[in-house]
Amino acid sequence: MYFLNINKPKGMSSFDVVKTLRKKLSIKQIGHSGTLDPLASGVLQIGVGNATKLLSYLQSDKTYVVKIKFGYASTTFDAEGDIEFVKKPDFSKEKLMSVLKTFLGKTCQKPPVYSAVKKNGKKLCDIVRKDPELNIDIPIREIEIYSIELLAFCGDIAELELKVKKGTYIRSFADDLGKKLNCGAYVLELKRIQAGGFKISDSNYLDDEVYKKISPIDVLDYDKVELDDSQLKRILNGNYIQFEAFSKSGIILLTKNNKLVSVANLSDNLIKPKKVFREEIDEHFF
């Protein structure tokens, strides 16, 4: 049970990365967290073995570096869609900076129609590919952008670094930015440089011979409790234990000899296991 930090190459889907890893590692139980579009590259969080059951517990904030092209609009909000001229961009760096500030904090955003967002159990991208003329009602949802840094600006192209909350679509951000500047815009290049505790500087390329295995307890950002032998036996059998060291409630990690035993819920000084990983513990504990 471990995570991998894979630097997904441009032109490859997240599913293709998982498929490649299954074959390369000869392990079927592999999954990813936070889909990256084929156009995008960068950090892809991979769970191997029982770590696939922990992907939803990973810290969700993301950091991206994006190149945005102004003056045009795209059906997919990126370079892979049908692109048409809108208007020659005519704004200053100061104007761009001013408009970027309006996106900071909690705002509302409509996800791209070509996305993995599901409607009636089906991905929007699959629905629209079957019927491109279909008018799909996509619900607007709340997002949060923590920071935007302008890295470079040259007439019709800007390079930005954005730190965002999970669920924020950079393609939609680019399209919205183009509308606010009254000239259109789409994503030219996109790279995810960080996802939670996974940084691109620590990532492995898919064609590396050896991957760095990441222990769940090193990247899951929750309080941890080391169990004694009697507590361990109760947890392995799915029973609760009493614990008075924490005053707060919520998710907590239970460990034994620096191995993850369980993801549990702490409430009213009771720890109740949600997920138990018996196979991670030495045989003499059973």
pLDDT in tens, 159-204: 999 999 988 999 999 999 999 999 999 999 999 999 999 999 999 9
Residue ranges per structural domain of the chain: 2-57+197-215, 62-195, 222-285
pLDDT in tens, 214-251: 999 999 989 888 988 888 988 888 888 887 766 677 88
How large is the average pLDDT for residues 150-156? 94
- Asked if residue 44 has pLDDT above 80, the reply is yes
Residues 6 or more apart whose CB falls under 8 angstroms from that of 181 comprise 70, 89, 91, 95, 96, 99
Instruction: State percent of the chain over pLDDT 70.
Output: 88
How large is the average pLDDT for residues 82-96? 94
CA distances (Å), origin 159, targets 29, 72, 154, 190: 37, 16, 9, 10
CA distances (Å), origin 167, targets 4, 62, 85: 21, 9, 29
CATH code, 2-57+197-215:
3.30.2350.10
pLDDT of the residue at 223 = 87
CATH topology for the 222-285 domain: 2.30.130
CATH topology for the 62-195 domain: Pseudouridine synthase (3.30.2350)
Higher pLDDT, 258 or 23: 23
Instruction: Quote the tokens at residue 125.
Output: 């991208």
| pLDDT-wise least confident of 25-29, 123-127, 251-255 | 123-127
> HEC profile for 141-167?
EEEEEEEEEEEEEECCEEEEEEEECCC
Report the alpha-carbon distance of residue 67 to residue 79 in Å, rounded: 11
Query: Would you say the C-alpha torsion 49, 53, 57, 60 has a positive or negative sign?
Result: positive
Domains 2-57+197-215 and 62-195 share a fold: yes
Instruction: Quote the tokens at residue 67.
Output: 């190149």
| pLDDT-wise least confident of 8-12, 42-46, 112-116, 214-218 | 112-116
Q: Are 159 and 152 in contact (CB under 8 A)?
A: yes
Instruction: Quote the tokens at residue 157.
Output: 């192209």
pLDDT of the residue at 40 = 93
How large is the average pLDDT for residues 18-27? 94
pLDDT of the residue at 125 = 47
Q: Are 203 and 6 in contact (CB under 8 A)?
A: yes
Q: Of the residues 16, 37, 221, 268, which is catalytic?
A: 37
Candidate ranges 65-74, 131-140, 255-264; pick with highest mean pLDDT: 65-74
How large is the average pLDDT for residues 23-46? 92
131 is catalytic: no
Query: Would you say the C-alpha torsion 208, 39, 172, 117 has a positive or negative sign?
Result: negative
Mean pLDDT of the chain: 87
